[in-house]
Chains A and B, each alone.
Chain A
Amino acid sequence: MTHLPDHDLIDLALGRLDAPAREHVERSLTRDPDAQRRFRAIRDHLDLYDRLPPPPPPRPFAWIRADLPPRQADARGSSAAPRRPWAWALGSVAAVVVAGLALHLVLPGGNGVDGIGRAGEGLCACRDGDGVLRRHPLLAVGDVLVAREIVEAWLGPRVHLVMDDGTTLELLDETTVRLEKGRAFFEVESGPFLVRTLFGDVRVRGTAFEVAVGQDGLEVRVAAGRVDVAGRTIIAGTGLENGEIVALDGEVGPWFRRPRLGLASGGPVPPGRPVSLEFSLVNPGMLTVELSGPEGVRRALWLEVVDPTGEVHDLPVSPNTFEPTSEARGNGGPLPPQGGYRLGPHERRRLVARFARPFTRRGTYRCRAMYRPEGEPPLLSEIVLVEVR
């Protein structure tokens, strides 16, 4: 006698069986007293939920209408070829939504990948709290992954990542993510991939690297391959060792810190108040700072150098440029009394440019800084310093 599984009895109780299936199940029931008893129990149980009252209605649409942001046309979606979500040419894709799920850490390349399709299937999966490999619905561009615990995920067959607890990652494009905060280790098999952060972009082509975004900056560690960080090239194994760390500061550009105005609220600077700028430089190069405002263009007249211990050194420079020289405290001897300032490899320095003549005219003051690392194309950053009112 065939044992009737519970899901057949459930389907019978819910009226989900078609006529032939219903006949078969009912016929089997007549010969199986145990199944009859189970069916009655299941039916009585499922009937209980008819006693639940209807839920309350949702809030009126006016509540939602007030919060609706203006919709910008999706540029690619409005084209003749509709934009596809994160999809692979070879077929259907499952992507992982990790929000709210407790997942186990799986080391990159280690256990936990059995059963997950790779290239060709475009499968994205994660291991859930029960240790079960799950397939998730397709992630659409714009979806946000929020890791509540350490999470392993695959975005298509090319990109494997491990996200720390508290990491928030948004899909921007088929080859682009935004790392809003937290830490994620990426392994990109081939092809371009871009991680955007508030402090800079990390552009890779087939490599392994880690990106951590905090409140004050961005840290990139290269495990293998080549990583471009906001225009600065960090090559693992070439001049820089594997595990090289570069730290980028500031809210504008990769190495340009928002000026400290000495004001608690950061409001408009009263006329006459000087402005300090801070730069974090990683590699040797030359820094030029100029200020433009209602009075025209003005160059930095002198620099304060803050070494890693926090000690401030005055560094007289030429009216137009300065050249970083020598090592700094913490990495070698004291700073030179004058001249330029040069960084050694892997050295990080914070320079403070103070414009000695205060801003006296009302208007917008901008700061432009050009940093020319040795052997590299120059980097340019420009920000609005203050609005003098």
Chain B
Amino acid sequence: MSAPPTPHGEGLDEDQRLMARVREGDREAFALLHDRYGTPVMRFLHGLCQDRTLAEDLTQETFLRAWAAAGRWRPTGKVSTWLFQIAKRRFFTRRAQQRLRREREARAAAERQERSSVASPSMRLEHSEEVERIRRTLLDLSPKLRLVFVLVRLEGQGYRDTAEIAGLKIGTVKSRMAAAEAFLRARLMEE
């Protein structure tokens, strides 16, 4: 049974009021938070790892971690930024533990074999050669640059939010974005 929501102060946005309830152990509020940010976090992590199963795992880990850390959350910034920071850390932790690309290729090969006879139009599009080429190239980008590129280009995050999530200065975000763009452009336009 979840605790009744505590009175909240002035100036909290809707997400922060929701988090305040989560902080008190309100699981229904946490479910609402997941409804709201599950997909963006999944999209962000999928952009980083380009692997569905891994992104699902990391998304689940992110929210479990957020639940555990909710007691320490304070309304000093956006809830989305806080979640993305947790997600980012989960990604980098996992990356160090796995040989990401090798597992993904093996899984993709197994999935291609599994899906070859059962393919909806959207699935066929997902595995089009061009999309695969873009995804492969994204994975060729170093994780530090990929993080910034995914946040800025794929997630549409502003430079300030990106800087906060990644723990960088805004100038560093811009320079890494430019470096990432140049790298990807050179690879994709040359092929």
Per a CB cutoff under 8 Å, which of B55, B70, B125, B181 touches A55?
Answer: B55
Which residue of chain B has its CB nearest to the CB of A56? B52
Per a CB cutoff under 8 Å, which of B56, B71, B89, B184 touches A99?
Answer: B89
Cβ of B69 < 8 Å from any Cβ of A?
A: yes
Which residues in A have their C-beta under 8 angstroms from that of B60?
A: 58-59, 63-64, 67
Chain A contact residues: helix, strand, loop or mixed:
loop
Per a CB cutoff under 8 Å, which of B67, B72, B175 touches A77?
Answer: B72
Which residues in A have their C-beta under 8 angstroms from that of B64?
A: 64, 67-68
Per a CB cutoff under 8 Å, which of B131, B185, B189 touches A51?
Answer: B131
CA distance A49 to B154 in the complex (A): 7
Q: Are B27 and A97 in contact (CB under 8 A)?
A: no
Which residue of chain A has its CB nearest to the CB of B53? A56
Q: Are B72 and A140 in contact (CB under 8 A)?
A: yes
Question: Given contacts A53-B125, A65-B31, are A71 and B43 in contact (CB under 8 A)?
Answer: no
Which residues in A have their C-beta under 8 angstroms from that of B154?
A: 49, 52
Question: B residues bordering A, Cβ < 8 Å?
Answer: 23, 25, 27, 30-31, 34-35, 38-39, 41-43, 46-47, 52, 55-56, 59-60, 63-64, 67-72, 74, 85, 89, 91-97, 122, 125-126, 130-131, 134-135, 144, 152-154, 158-159, 164, 167-168, 174-175, 177-178, 181-182, 184-185, 188-189
Q: Are A45 and B184 in contact (CB under 8 A)?
A: yes
Question: A residues bordering B, Cβ < 8 Å?
Answer: 5-7, 10, 14, 16, 41-42, 44-46, 48-49, 51-59, 61, 63-65, 67-74, 77, 82-83, 85, 94, 97, 99-102, 128, 134-137, 140-142, 146, 148
Q: Are A41 and B185 in contact (CB under 8 A)?
A: yes
Q: Are B93 and A100 in contact (CB under 8 A)?
A: yes
Q: Are A49 and B134 in contact (CB under 8 A)?
A: yes
Highest count of chain B CB atoms <10 Å: which of A48, A74, A94, A97? A48
Question: Given contacts A46-B153, A46-B181, are A83 and B92 in contact (CB under 8 A)?
Answer: no
CA distance A49 to B43 in the complex (A): 13
Which residues in A have their C-beta under 8 angstroms from that of B47?
A: 55
Per a CB cutoff under 8 Å, which of A10, A49, A55, A74 touches B72?
Answer: A74
Q: Are B131 and A99 in contact (CB under 8 A)?
A: no
For the complex of A and B, the 7 pairs showing the least CB-CB separation, nearest first, are A100-B96, A100-B92, A74-B71, A55-B46, A137-B167, A58-B42, A99-B93
CA distance A62 to B96 in the complex (A): 28
Which residues in A have their C-beta under 8 angstroms from that of B59?
A: 58-59
Which residues in A have their C-beta under 8 angstroms from that of B135?
A: 52
Q: Are B71 and A58 in contact (CB under 8 A)?
A: no
Q: Are B167 and A135 in contact (CB under 8 A)?
A: yes
Which residue of chain B has its CB nearest to the CB of A62? B31
Which residues in B have their C-beta under 8 angstroms from that of A49?
A: 134, 153-154
A-B contact pairs, 17 of them (CB 8 A): A6-B182, A7-B174, A46-B181, A48-B134, A49-B134, A51-B131, A52-B131, A53-B126, A55-B42, A56-B46, A56-B52, A58-B60, A59-B59, A64-B34, A97-B92, A99-B92, A142-B69
Per a CB cutoff under 8 Å, which of A64, A99, A128 touches B96?
Answer: A99
Q: How far is the CB of B31 from chain A (nearest CB, A)?
A: 5
Q: Are A68 and B30 in contact (CB under 8 A)?
A: yes
Which residues in A have their C-beta under 8 angstroms from that of B42?
A: 55-58
CA distance A48 to B185 in the complex (A): 10
CA distance A100 to B130 in the complex (A): 30
Which residues in A have their C-beta under 8 angstroms from that of B91?
A: 100
Q: Are A71 and B67 in contact (CB under 8 A)?
A: yes
Question: Given contacts A55-B42, A77-B71, A140-B72, are A5 and B178 in contact (CB under 8 A)?
Answer: yes
